[in-house]
Structure 1
Amino acid sequence: MIASYDALSEARKALDTPLFAGLPGDVAVSFEFFPPKSDAMMLQLWDVVQALAPLAPEFVSVTYGAGGTTRDRTHGTVARIISEARLPAAAHLTCVDATKAEVNAVAEAYWEAGVRHIVALRGDMGEPGAPFVPHPEGYQNAADLVAGLKAIAPFDISVAAYPEMHPDSASPEADIDNLKRKLDAGASRAISQFFFEPETFFRFRDRLAAAGIDAPVLPGILPVSNFAQTRKFAAACGAAIPAWMEGLFAGLDTHPAARQLVAATVAAEFCRRLYAGGVRNFHFYTLNRAELSYAICHLLGVRPKAAAAIQEKAA
């Protein structure tokens, strides 16, 4: 009854007062980046890292290309974030097109570089729609990878979760069973694929609870900076784009400033509704841009921290 009363009270507050008035900043945030492809892109990424670092993220993560195509850039980016930005950084690692020995060597190099957190993923083959084929001498799936990483070192491991089901899963139940195997293998938490309606996450959270899964699941937030690009991302991962969102962004392709304002409004309200439903951890897919993620965090009550506090979290 207490939880129901709190939820009702929070919902009433959201309706009766300005949506973001009085939020205490009692949320934890994390950010995802992709490794830069050039020196110019590295400069841009570093500006983003420095802009978001004062928000004291729980961690930041750096993606890893299919088949390890960005392995060196991922490693270099993560190592620099740890050593120079003094942020807790997680490196993505996949099973695609690599032997266990090759994956283990990468993991060992991460540990030597001070990386203590890995986002362990099965990964995709690189071509859209291509079925995953495990390497004959490699890890067979993400659960297998998690177990292998735990045998190498006491990594803190995050895995992926899919509120709308992974496209390769036979059913929602099978998808949740797969998540449970990854957590049972030693993962500490899951990070969700992006989605665009709060109810999608709430229903998923209920299904996880019914399945006996109580590990933290961080909702993945994708602020829409480019709608055409977002549509491609969604098609690849099976995320539904609501009809109202299609209509809202229609006609804004040639008006980038207006599109940015609309994107910020949509994403902020989305996160506020998640907050009203009890969510206190948010993982932002930044696409190596700071403005939208920073603005949403600000509206959620997150304020810059002193450098000493950030470094203490990274230690």
Structure 2
Amino acid sequence: MPRIDQLLAAGTTYSFEFFPPQTDAGERKLRNTLNELEPLGPSFVSVTYGAGGSTRERTHRIVVDMLERTTMTPMAHLTAVCHTRDELAAILARYRDAGVQNILALRGDAPQDVHPFWELERAVDLVELAREVGGGSFAVGVAAHPEGHPLSPDLAMDRRHLAAKLRVADFGVTQFFFAVESYLAMVEEVAAHGCDTPIVPGVMPVTNVRQIERFAQLSGAAFPVALADRLHAVEDRPDEVRRIGVEVATELCQRLLDAGAPGLHFYTLNSSTATREIYANLGLPALA
């Protein structure tokens, strides 16, 4: 199975992200989405990890199933919150033994209604643990926030922490954003700290106005007022919302590619339609 750092070294990557469903119906929907997106030949696909390990087994099962039953290269998310070091080491060992070679190492946000703890306090610590457990077999990525992590006291400190994290990782993947300038400024500011680790921009096409506003608030991403007004004017027409969302995301993706971004990472929300439309608009050939 290819490592993501090797894929990035070889050229531009195109990747998709999914979350573990909580119901049987959700799993059926995800499988349909995977069947619809697999022919596009994504460079890799990622599967998120629920707060506090709430989807631990589902995430593992989906990742291993992708590895064994599809042509897609999976990346497993893993968060340190509410896990001991030994628990995290055991999870990483299971992935290693199953042949999974790509991990996204995250500190993780505090889950609701649970008192959080971090035995590994920083994402850097989880990256180092993955190196130790994997014996060099894992390509390890970390998260980046173009507009700064919502818990960072200021952007300057955010960039220092991000650069330190990226130096020990193989690549970064960003939270979604809407302004290409935010991404380009982040890359430039991290480079000023002597770090040139590739950072793949994350793109989330708007298909539900209220949902994306909530996601933006939680992640610290700025939701442009002009775009919000445009979407709210048609929010009772889902097809029109998706059309605008696809149009805006396509423009963002093209500008990112033109600016030399190392790839595009699509947040699919377990649905294929918007992602396939953007892919077609960009004229991207299937990589399979």
**Following superposition of structure 1 onto structure 2, how do residues 65-214 of structure 1 map, counting pairs within 5 Å?**
65-127=50-112, 134-135=117-118, 138-153=119-134, 154=136, 155-185=138-168, 187-214=169-196
Which residue of 2 is the match for residue 256 of structure 1? 238
Q: Alignment partner of 1:32: what SS?
A: strand
SS at match of 2:283: coil
Match of 2:247 in 1: 265
**CA apart distance, 1:285:** 0.6
Of structures 1 and 2, the larger Rg is shown by 1
**Could you tell me which residue of structure 2 aligns to residue 13 of structure 1?**
none
Matches within 5 A, 1:237-256: 237-256=219-238
Identity of aligned pairs, percent?
38
Unmatched 5+ residue regions in structure 1?
A: 1-25, 311-315
Contact 1:27 / 1:302 at 8 angstroms: preserved in 2?
no
CA–CA distance in structure 2, aligned partners of residues 127 and 211 of structure 1? 35
d(CA) in 2 for partners of 1:242, 1:258: 18
The TM-score with structure 2 as length reference comes to 0.91
RMSD: 1.7
* SS of equivalent residue, structure 1 residue 158: strand
Q: Deviations over 1:131-158 (max 9, x none)?
A: x9543xx211100110011000121001
In 2, the alpha carbon distance for the partners of 1:304 and 1:276 equals: 19
TM-superposed CA distance for 1:206, in Å, is: 1.6
- Equivalent AA in structure 1 for residue 157 of structure 2: A
Output the CA distance in 2 between the equivalents of 1:245 and 1:111: 43
Compare 52-61 and 213-222 and name the one that shifted more. 52-61
Give structure 2 stretches of 5+ with no counterpart.
Answer: 1-10
Write the distance in 2 (CA, Å) between the matches of 1:300 and 1:167: 31
- 1:35 matched to 2:20? The reply is yes
Q: Secondary structure at the match of 2:194?
A: coil
Measured in 1, the distance between the counterparts of 2:188 and 2:24 equals 45
Which segments of structure 1 move beyond 6 Å, counting only runs of 4 or more? none
Indicate the residue corresponding to 1:218 in structure 2.
Answer: 200
- Report if the CA contact (8 A) 1:100-1:139 is conserved: yes
| Counterparts of 1:97 and 1:302, CA distance in 2 | 40
* Structure with more contact order per residue of length (Cα contacts < 8 Å, sep ≥ 6): 1
Change (3 A) 1:68 1:268: same
How many Å separate the matches in 1 of 2:13 and 2:210?
Answer: 29
1:267 Cα shift? 1.0
Length-normalised TM-score, structure 1: 0.84
Paired residue total: 276
